[in-house]
Chain A
Amino acid sequence: MEHPYIPNAVPEVKASMLAATGAADIEEFYADIPESLRLRRPLDLPPPLRGEAELVRHVGGLLDRNTSTRDALSFLGGGCYAHHVPAVCDEVNSRSEFLTAYAGEPYEDHGRFQALWEYQSLMGELLEMDVVNVPVYDGFQATATALRMAARITGRGRVALATPIDPDLRSKLDDYLKGAVTLGGPVDGDDLAAVYIGYPTFLGVVDPRIPSHVEAAHAAGGLAVVGCDPIGLGVLAPPSSFGADIVCGDIQSLGMHPQYGGGHAGFIATRDEERFVEEFPSRLFGLVPTTVDGEYGFGDVAYERTSFARREQGKEWVGTAAALWGITAGVYLALMGPTGMRELGEGLMARCRHLKDLLAGIDGIEIPDAGLPHLKEFVVTFTGRTVAEVNAALRERGIFGGHDLSEDFPHLGRSALYCVTELHTKADLDRLAAELKEVLA
């Protein structure tokens, strides 16, 4: 079957290659597979769409049934964000050289090593920390690993949760940490490996008590692990400034489209101390000289830590993860610079403030934490209607309301998590308020 993706399917080529191997037919190569294991019927799959145009019509047609956050006015967040993606980010990450390369060796893939080392370095400046890893899969994995690292570093087995966390993250942690770390309890005690603090919390609050949680953990001989969305760090203090030992989170905000959950990548950052560095499972690229003066070379720092080097003797495991998003986040931070990050943070807080004020003035709505600072997300409580009802009504008006917290956070009542980004204009925020007023009337 000749197909554009299979050059050697051409019969004459096939025949000449078979002849070179001395095999009578392709079946001969499968001689080791016992007959009892052979599938002697064609797979039951839909007939192929061999032409590119047919494929585009079919897959494109299916995707067109989606209503995107470009089609609607969306206030969804909760771990995935529709921030602006600079065109240069998409340009760089769609380059064939980066998009189609394997994880690479330092010589023929010098570019990716430098780009990822620069990503580590840019994140290092944003976080004011000296060690940042090549990205792991996502913020959940980064958090789970950061907590296991804390347990290994301290030789203790419990992590206290100082702030409300995403129930999905909790689900990941419950299974991932099983047998290694228990979650919960006070920020105290000689079994305390670490306190985990969301900054902002899952409910959007920049909690003024955060530094005191860090102090309490340190007083008990534990570490402070701070989870943060780095997008806010142009205005928010870097967690290292109030004593965080390990900082972790997701970099999706830094130049990745939401992609229905496909844009995630996780970071872990620590101080440059051997007892921290030796506990990373992930790759850490390092800058080294080469045999030519003035040339930059890159390689793996402390590779013997990894499961690539030592299988089950390594720390957790390492594999293909989310390198291209690391490169992209580097491009993003290089474009934004210090001023861009500050302006962006101020813009998020300003829009958040405006929307909080607008919604707080509507009958049937309460903003439980109105007095606390928020970066880009906050909880909205409906005193009359359910979130499901409100969201259904908004959807009819072309708006995606905040995501429903009612089941996961019953103590908050009928609540939803609303998110703004720098892409919301004042008119967008005013429109949401006006529609909500009507819906709730």
Chain B
Amino acid sequence: MTGEIAPKPPLRRYHAARWDEPLLFELSQPGQRGILPPALEPGLAADAADELPAALRRERPAALPELAQNAVLRHYLRLSQENLGADLNIDIGQGTCTMKYSPKVNDRLVAGHKLAALHPRQDDETAQGVLEILWRLERMLAEISGMDRVSLQPGAGSAAIWTNVAMIRAYHESRGEGHRDQVITTIFSHPSNAACAKTAGYEVITLYPDADGYPDLDALKAAVSDRTAALLITNPEDTGIFNPRIAEFVEAVHAVGGLACYDQANANGVLGITRARDAGFDLCHFNLHKTFSTPHACGGPAAGACGVSAELVPFLPRPTVEFDGERYFLDDDRPESVGKVRPFTGVAPNLVRAYSWIASLGAEGLREVAEIAVLNNNYLMTQMLKIRGISAPYAKGRRRIEQVRYSWEELAEETGVHSEDLGHRAADYGVHYWTSHHPYVVPEPATLEPTESYSKRDLDEYVAIMNAVAEEAYADPETVRTAPHRSSVHLNKEETLDDAGAWAVTWRAYRRKNAER
């Protein structure tokens, strides 16, 4: 007999937590309490609510579930186990979204009452610490982008794009050029660029890529005119290919009096390498929840930062954070400002996290982040392209910056298995995978972005998983098409999601629509 343990198989034998958890409402036991509000002390009028006119007084209690405290906790902890956070997986499958490591120490720093219990309407004198951090963070981001000033107010990346569009609109109006009614963007820029411009009243012109995958410069030159308000563009775009003629794009827009706005949501591959202002951009934005490490939180709270050149400073959201050499203060007296884009001064805890992240790396560290993110990406591409059925369209044989948009077109043609199916199967191996934004200009797309956070070993494991899934698509397509098999749940039957008679956005709607069954 020997106590020797056999080596592990090449792929992890993962299985997601499967609690088969009921809905909260089904766990309700009338009379149970999860928490008690502070008692009413003697001398406080227990019947103060009787002042309410009858029409404004709640008649029947809300039909909320009634649960003991540990029942609530257990329910949510089970749900958390059925969720795959970046801390638990090799989270490189959500390309363009920069799922990097969010340092735990930064979460701790913002959890204390010195920030958590700080009220945004406090007198500036009592908030000098946080104001100093905001002021310093603005300076750092100005240096990283080359811009003159930076607003930290927007709640996320799309809100920052909106804010930039709002400033563009205000700028042109201030110059009596409100007639400019077109915004130009590219199909490989994030959909929010087009959508925010449209919301602001602009006609949207979308440029498609040329044969090399670059946005078409000739198409831009044909599109610009005295109706052009701005170009909203990303570089590298979702393909990960850096557009070397970007300064010419900017010039073409400037030549007709338009502004150039750089979506730098994801600047991970170019930190300290190249700057928005140096390519002539008038505005840019960063997603602090990508490049600057704040956690994605299942889809926010996040934070966006808008950088602008001097001509656009008057239009920044108010208030700005100022320093008079002795004290920090909020300046609300900005008559040309676009005003408020969100309450108060931004998502402060994420601003503190981003500040802490930059402070822990410094200039040399940021550059290392960029270089390793790019090395990781090119290494990953080399390995991914060895997998059967995958390709990296455009710019054949060229390097990429921080991400790659791949195509499984060949695999789909040969096996009938789609990119989305591969993602479902990848879940069985404990990794996250996403196709890409619509429309699928690249057929059967997948976008991978390894960031600087993952080790070579991690990248090799991800490639091995994708290789296994692709091989399986050839050998046993049915298993892939019916995946997931080892996840928390099985394939959805989604038909009712687009049927107004049957969709169920709440438990009460579900019960109403299914009452007769």
Contact = CB atoms under 8 A, between A and B. Distances in A.
A260 B342 CA distance: 13
A88 interface: yes
Contact of B56 (A68, A206, A314): A206
A336 B493 CA distance: 33
A69 B296 contact: no
A272 B119 contact: no
A380 interface: no
A206 to B, nearest CB: 6
A349 B367 contact: no
A339 B400 CA distance: 58
Contact of B84 (A34, A101, A308, A373): A101
Given A140-B343, A286-B503, A339-B33, A208 B56 contact: yes
A303 B497 contact: yes
Contacts of A9: 368, 372
Contacts of A284: 505
B352 A29 contact: no
A95 B507 CA distance: 25
Contact of B382 (A21, A179, A304, A391): A21
Nearest to B59: A237
B433 interface: yes
Interface in A312-367: 312, 314, 316-325, 327, 330-331, 333-347, 349-354
B17 to A, nearest CB: 8
B296 A100 contact: yes
B516 interface: no
B222 interface: no
A66 to B, nearest CB: 4
Interface in A60-89: 60, 62-72, 74, 76-80, 82, 84, 86, 88
A215 to B, nearest CB: 11
A307 B278 CA distance: 31
A190 interface: no
Given A45-B140, A88-B34, A353-B48, A39 B62 contact: no
B399 A23 contact: yes
Given A172-B341, A235-B52, A297-B489, A322 B300 contact: yes
A326 B118 CA distance: 21
A6 B452 contact: yes
B344 to A, nearest CB: 3
A261 B166 CA distance: 22
Interface string B192-212: 101111111100101000000
Contacts of B206: 311
Contact of A175 (B35, B166, B241): B166
B490 A295 contact: yes
Interface in A282-314: 284-292, 294-304, 307-312, 314
B407 interface: no
A258 B120 CA distance: 8
Interface residues of A, number: 216
Interface stretch (B124-132, B253-261, B466-474): B124-132
Interface residues of B, number: 223
Contacts of B87: 96-97, 99-100
Interface string A235-267: 111100110000000100000011111101100
Nearest to A307: B195
B164 interface: no
Given A21-B379, A265-B301, A302-B498, A42 B191 contact: no
B72 A88 contact: yes
Which of A1, A95, A260, A341 has the most C-beta atoms of chain B within 10 angstroms of its own C-beta?
A260
B67 to A, nearest CB: 6
Interface in B394-419: 398-401
B85 A96 contact: yes
Interface string A35-70: 011110011111111101001101110111111111
B252 interface: no
B484 interface: yes
B494 interface: yes
Contacts of B515: none
A389 interface: no
Given A208-B53, A320-B296, A391-B123, A8 B375 contact: yes
A181 B474 CA distance: 55
Nearest to A95: B80
B301 A78 contact: no
A16 B456 contact: yes
Given A110-B82, A308-B438, A322-B155, A66 B126 contact: yes
B45 A238 contact: no
Nearest to B303: A262
Contacts of B62: 125-126, 128, 233-234, 238, 338, 341
B401 to A, nearest CB: 7
A18 B361 CA distance: 23
B368 A110 contact: no
Given A260-B118, A307-B194, A337-B65, A49 B359 contact: yes
Contact of B121 (A70, A80, A288): A80
A321 B155 contact: yes
B320 interface: no
B2 interface: no
A39 B115 contact: no
B61 A349 contact: no
A257 B115 CA distance: 9
A286 B509 CA distance: 10
Interface in B55-103: 55-59, 61-67, 69, 72-73, 75-89, 91, 94, 97, 99-103
A280 B36 CA distance: 35
A172 B34 contact: no
Contacts of A341: 61-62, 64
B496 A334 contact: no
Contacts of A97: 80-81, 83-85, 87-88
A416 B471 CA distance: 69
Contacts of B23: 114, 118, 121, 296
A290 B287 CA distance: 35
A74 to B, nearest CB: 6
Contacts of A208: 53, 55-56
A346 to B, nearest CB: 5
A91 B143 CA distance: 37
Contacts of B338: 175
Contacts of A79: 343
B217 interface: no
Contacts of B345: 260-261
A320 B302 CA distance: 7
A66 B452 contact: no
A201 interface: no
B358 to A, nearest CB: 7
A441 interface: no
A65 B375 contact: no
A288 B495 CA distance: 8
A205 to B, nearest CB: 11
B323 interface: no
B509 A30 contact: no
Nearest to A425: B41
A301 B378 contact: no
Contact of A1 (B48, B368, B500): B368
B105 interface: yes
A99 B434 CA distance: 19
B312 to A, nearest CB: 15
29 contacts: A7-B455, A13-B455, A30-B399, A32-B401, A63-B352, A84-B37, A84-B38, A96-B85, A99-B297, A102-B97, A107-B487, A125-B506, A211-B55, A234-B62, A236-B57, A264-B301, A264-B343, A284-B505, A286-B505, A292-B490, A295-B489, A311-B195, A317-B162, A320-B156, A320-B300, A339-B33, A341-B61, A373-B53, A373-B56
The 9 closest A-B pairs by CB, nearest first: A48-B362, A261-B344, A319-B158, A111-B83, A335-B34, A124-B506, A65-B129, A307-B195, A171-B339
